[in-house]
């Protein structure tokens, strides 16, 4: 009986050692994969999330300003067209041929 327990204890130690080795191997593989991905991504010139969100906010602000300026320009053009129409309506008519 004593030898059976010793065999089971030895098997448990071997299994524990194997699991420890597998855990170490797993961590090593994950580290290598992460390093490889980081190298690959750095070559692609990608931006991080913070930079992206910052530029997105800048672009949204610029777009809002553009819309505001377009509306302002349309209002100015409408006033100019109105003044031109009023001036043309009130201008004295010129004869087609001068009297000689």
Question: Tell me, what's the pLDDT at 12?
Answer: 84
Give the total residue count for the chain. Answer: 100
DSSP state of 94: P
Q: Please tell me the distance from the alpha carbon of residue 53 to that of residue 51, in angstroms, as a whole number.
A: 6
The sign of the CA dihedral 91, 93, 97, 100 is negative
Residues 48-91 pLDDT 10s: 899 999 999 999 999 999 999 999 999 999 999 999 988 877 76
Alpha-helix residue ranges (DSSP H) falling in the chain: 2-43, 49-90
Question: Tell me, what's the pLDDT at 94?
Answer: 59
Q: Please tell me the distance from the alpha carbon of residue 13 to that of residue 19, in angstroms, as a whole number.
A: 10
pTM given for the model = 0.48
Indicate whether 100 pLDDT > 60. Answer: no
pLDDT above 90 as % of the chain: 45
Q: Please tell me the distance from the alpha carbon of residue 24 to that of residue 27, in angstroms, as a whole number.
A: 5
Question: Tell me, what's the pLDDT at 1?
Answer: 52
Residues 68-78 pLDDT 10s: 999 999 999 99
């Amino acid at each position: 009986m004593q030898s059976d327990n010793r065999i089971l204890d030895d098997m448990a130690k071997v299994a524990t050692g194997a699991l420890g080795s597998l855990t170490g191997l797993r961590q090593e593989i994950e580290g290598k994969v992460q390093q490889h991905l980081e190298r690959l991504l750095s070559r692609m010139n990608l931006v991080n999330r913070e930079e992206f969100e910052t530029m997105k906010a800048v672009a949204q602000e610029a777009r809002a300003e553009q819309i505001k300026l377009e509306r302002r320009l349309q209002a100015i053009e409408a006033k100019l067209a109105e003044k031109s129409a009023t001036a043309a309506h009130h201008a004295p008519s010129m004869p087609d041929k001068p009297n000689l």
